[in-house]
């Protein structure tokens, strides 16, 4: 992974996600974090992989147009959560978050992340999935999590590194994928 010698940064993370930034930092990547928004509400799809691909492409195109790849390679990602054949979007309020989380309680929840890395030398497009089998959520702990507002801005109101962690019975796939960025794959290519 070549650093930009003028700045020391190796890529532009086009995401406002604190979790994605932490994943990159913990994996040893040097980066700047800035992005332009894309309206995901315009996407109409009932297929989770199709939805997350369209959302990532929308973000990619918006950020490529604004920033390009000449100064820094561009990294864009989006994540969708699905359980019981439903796409579980970001909760609009606490009641919505509770409904979304109860869908996952005692069920298999799939977290699908699509990422696009684009530099002058290469372009990587990946869709990865991590499946979690959750135990039934404790009602009191669920209420404390809802009251904490930590679920805000999270796809499916799900935090596998937080609230949901103790309820994981089994997992298939990378935790980083579930947290919003497949850094395990990124490290292989970069």
Catalytic residue set: 78
Give the burial string for 61-99 (b: 16+ CB within 10 Å, else e). Answer: ebbbeebebeebbbbbbbbbbbbeeebbbbbeeeeebbe
Q: Collect contacts of 116-119 with beta carbons under 8 A, ≥24 apart.
A: 116/56, 116/57, 116/60, 116/74, 116/75, 116/76, 116/77, 117/11, 117/73, 117/74, 117/75, 117/186, 117/189, 117/190, 118/60, 118/64, 118/69, 118/73, 118/74, 118/75, 119/11, 119/69, 119/73, 119/74
Residue 130: count other Cβ atoms within 10 Å of its Cβ: 21
């Amino acid at each position: 992974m070549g650093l930009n010698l003028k700045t020391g940064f190796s890529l532009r993370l086009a995401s406002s996600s604190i979790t994605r930034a932490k994943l990159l930092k913990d994996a040893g990547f040097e980066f700047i974090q800035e992005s332009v928004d894309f309206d995901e509400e315009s996407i109409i799809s009932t297929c989770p992989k199709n939805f997350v691909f369209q959302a990532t492409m929308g973000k990619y195109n918006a950020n490529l147009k604004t920033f390009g790849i000449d100064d820094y390679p561009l990294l864009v990602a989006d994540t969708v959560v699905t359980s019981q054949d439903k796409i579980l979007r970001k909760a609009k309020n606490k009641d919505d978050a509770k409904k979304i989380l109860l869908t996952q309680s005692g069920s298999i929840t799939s977290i699908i992340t699509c990422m696009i890395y684009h530099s002058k030398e290469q372009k990587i497009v990946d869709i990865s999935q991590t499946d979690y089998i959750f135990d039934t959520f404790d009602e009191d702990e669920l209420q404390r999590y809802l009251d904490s507002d930590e679920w805000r801005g999270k796809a499916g109101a799900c935090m596998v590194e937080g609230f949901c962690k103790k309820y994981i019975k089994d997992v298939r796939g990378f935790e980083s994928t579930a947290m919003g960025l497949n850094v395990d794959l990124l490290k292989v290519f970069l």
